[in-house]
Amino acid sequence: MALSEKDVQYVVKLARLEVTDQEVAKYTQQLANILEYVEQLNKLDTSNVEPLTHPLDVKNVFRADELRPCLTQAEVLSNAPEPQSGHFKVPKIM
């Protein structure tokens, strides 16, 4: 599974990043090295092994559906780059 520059450009788009052509070449080389190292996982036979997503047994945790104090609108918006009339303003979507 050799990684190509096209793969990297595709991933950059999926991850909503931007990189220059020069950077694509560098990242392709670095990521290919890392993936080559990762390939060693294939030396282990895992055909009868279940994936382990979490180190501990985790179960869903519920709490009572009761009103509790929460952040105010002003607090929630206090870090927004462009708040407007109590909302988060964004550029056009469509």
Partner 1 sequence: MKNELLEKTIHEVSADLKAKKVSSVELTKAALDYLEEIEPKVQSFITITRDEALRRAAEADKRLASGKDVTPLTGVPIAIKDLLCTKGIRTTCASRMLETFKPPYDATVVEKLYQAGAVSVGKTNMDEFAMGSSTETSFYKKTKNPWNLNCVPGGSSGGSAACVSAGQAFASLGSDTGGSIRQPAALCGIVGLKPTYGRVSRYGLIAFASSLDQVGPFGKDVEDCAIMLGAIAGHDPMDSTSADVPVPDYAAEAKKGIKGLKIGIPKEFFPEGMNREVSVAVKDAIAQLKSLGAETVEVSLPSSPYGLAAYYVLAPSEASSNLARYDGVRYGLRIPGENIVEMYSKTRAAGFGPEVKRRIMLGTYALSSGYYDAYYVKALKVRRLIKQDYDKAFEKVDVIATPTCPNPAFRFGEKTGDPLSMYLEDIFTVSINITGLPGLSVPCGMSKSGLPIGLQLIGKAFDEATLLRTAWAYEQATEWHKQKPALKEE
Contacts to partner 1 by CB under 8 A: 1, 3, 7-8, 10-12, 14-19, 27, 30-31, 33-35, 37-44, 46, 49-56, 58, 60-61, 63, 71, 75-76, 78-82, 88, 90-93
The least CB distance from residue 83 to partner 1, in Å, is 10
Torsion angle defined by CA atoms of residues 63, 69, 70 and 71, in that order, rounded to the nearest 10 degrees:
-170
Residue type, 46: T
Q: In whole angstroms, give the CA distance from residue 70 to residue 81.
A: 21
Contacts of 62-67 with C-beta under 8 Å, sequence gap 24+, read: none
The least CB distance from residue 85 to partner 1, in Å, is 16
Q: Which is nearer to partner 1, 81 or 86 (CB)?
A: 81
